[in-house]
Structure 1
């Protein structure tokens, strides 16, 4: 029986809270936009967990990020839930603990040779999120100033660790009518997702320049041997580094 080489796709791993969990949805589509950009060059894998904070995600990491041998790039996108008032005991994480948790999460990725791009929490439209909480019977425990503090701490921590940082918070508030970048005051709208993807794509391209294939994986359709396509695939695999 013939033994065929298997083409292994490089992976870009997205780790975070609900904004990552929803990243293939209609509104929060930034993950889908990344997958479209990197099609046939890398798989985009999302591991997002709605409502989780950095304390939860630090404890979760060994259970979902235990083997990164095919992962060439990653994002860590956390803090929107940590930035809650103390009355929200389930999600609130003190600022100094948030910083340490981020350091531990980044270190876990680095243990596998991956420097993740750290994304700051997005800006918060307090009025809109407060309305959303009232409509759904939840307690409003956030405010814009608190979110800004966590975003700044996130940026400072990434700089201290010398890993790439995408300051989404600042990028958002510098936009005209930035509140429209959110669908409910907290989560990204389609427009907000498009902004994030527009910033993240060049950052990943730059960081992964030497770790991603420059060409599409496998031959184009019109390059195949029409009579014996298996021959084309075997030749391509023999001529390209695929593992």
Structure 2
């Protein structure tokens, strides 16, 4: 294949290298799956679309990880200041920490909070002055979990709605104590499910099956396309409320339009 020499010359005349700041989405399998194209709408492509030519949205989701594993991984992938600028990062752990004992993913509530604090206050993150978003774990649907768990060989539930609520509450507490904005996925999903405070939890076996919650969760835990739409809407709402200067429309577009490009 031949090379257009005019493009080589134009590239050479470009006065400087332009790099894109980053928005890292960090979490477990729900974050890892946020880039999947099999579900239709998902979180990472939607986020990248609104930040196109403004920020690079980087998926650092690790299927199966708990908050202690996330804390360990953070120091291994988070770039140093001299390499890349991480402008924003979302932190989304707790769905696996809330697994019931004796299953090995279980992380006690206090340790979960300790690890979230460790991520938020990590020296690499502080060095970048990265703006953080802390996402609560979502609710679970025990009816779906029971069905899918049986197919996977589990004889008992691995998660319960009431226990997961405790982890969502604990996540909010950490955000409040460290002045870190919280994207309340748990409450947003429960609102979609029509749940009212004081009622048996939607998704619990103490309540009737909830059709809307089942539409947000494909297996009682992971998100459908509809679930990712809620995640995206809530995240963008919190960005605009807490970090208005980081809203896509407030950030400059990198590289000029074609007809204004000096090397055109």
Tell me the TM-score normalized by structure 1: 0.86
Matching residue within 113, 123, 126 for 2:129: 113
Contact 1:122 1:151 in 2 (8 A): yes
The yes-or-no answer on 1:35 pairing with 2:48 is: yes
- 1:100-131: CA deviation from partner (whole Å, max 9, x where unpaired): 01000111123431131000001101110221
Alpha-carbon distance, 1:133 to partner: 1.5
Name the SS of the counterpart of 2:134 in structure 1.
Answer: strand
> How far did residue 35 of structure 1 move?
0.6
Contact 2:240 2:246 in 1 (8 A): no
User: Which residue of 218, 233, 238 corresponds with 1:203?
Assistant: 238
Q: Does 1:173 align with 2:190?
A: yes
Higher relative contact order (CA 8 A, sep 6+): 1
Q: 1:40 deviation in Å?
A: 1.0
Choose 166-175 or 54-63, whichever is displaced more: 54-63
| Equivalent residue in structure 2 for 1:126, among 137, 142, 151 | 142
Structure 1 segments, 4+ long, off by >4 Å, are: 210-213
1: CA distance between counterparts of 2:256 and 2:14?
20
| In structure 1, distance between residues paired with 2:14 and 2:153 | 59
Q: Summarize deviations over 1:20-42 as a string: whole Å, max 9, x none.
A: 11111133711111011111111
Q: More deviation in 105-114 or 147-156?
A: 105-114
Alignment-derived partner of residue 176 in structure 2: 159
TM-score w.r.t. the length of structure 2 is 0.79
> Can you give the 5+ residue segments of structure 2 that lack an aligned partner in the other structure?
1-11, 194-211
Q: Is 1:192 the counterpart of 2:227 in the alignment? A: yes
Say how many residue pairs are matched: 226
> Which digits, 9 at most, give the CA deviation of each residue in 1:86-113, with x for residues without a partner?
1112x10000000001000111123431
Match of 2:152 among 130, 136, 151: 136
Looking at structure 1, the residues matched to 28 and 254 of structure 2 have their Cα atoms a distance apart, in angstroms, of: 31
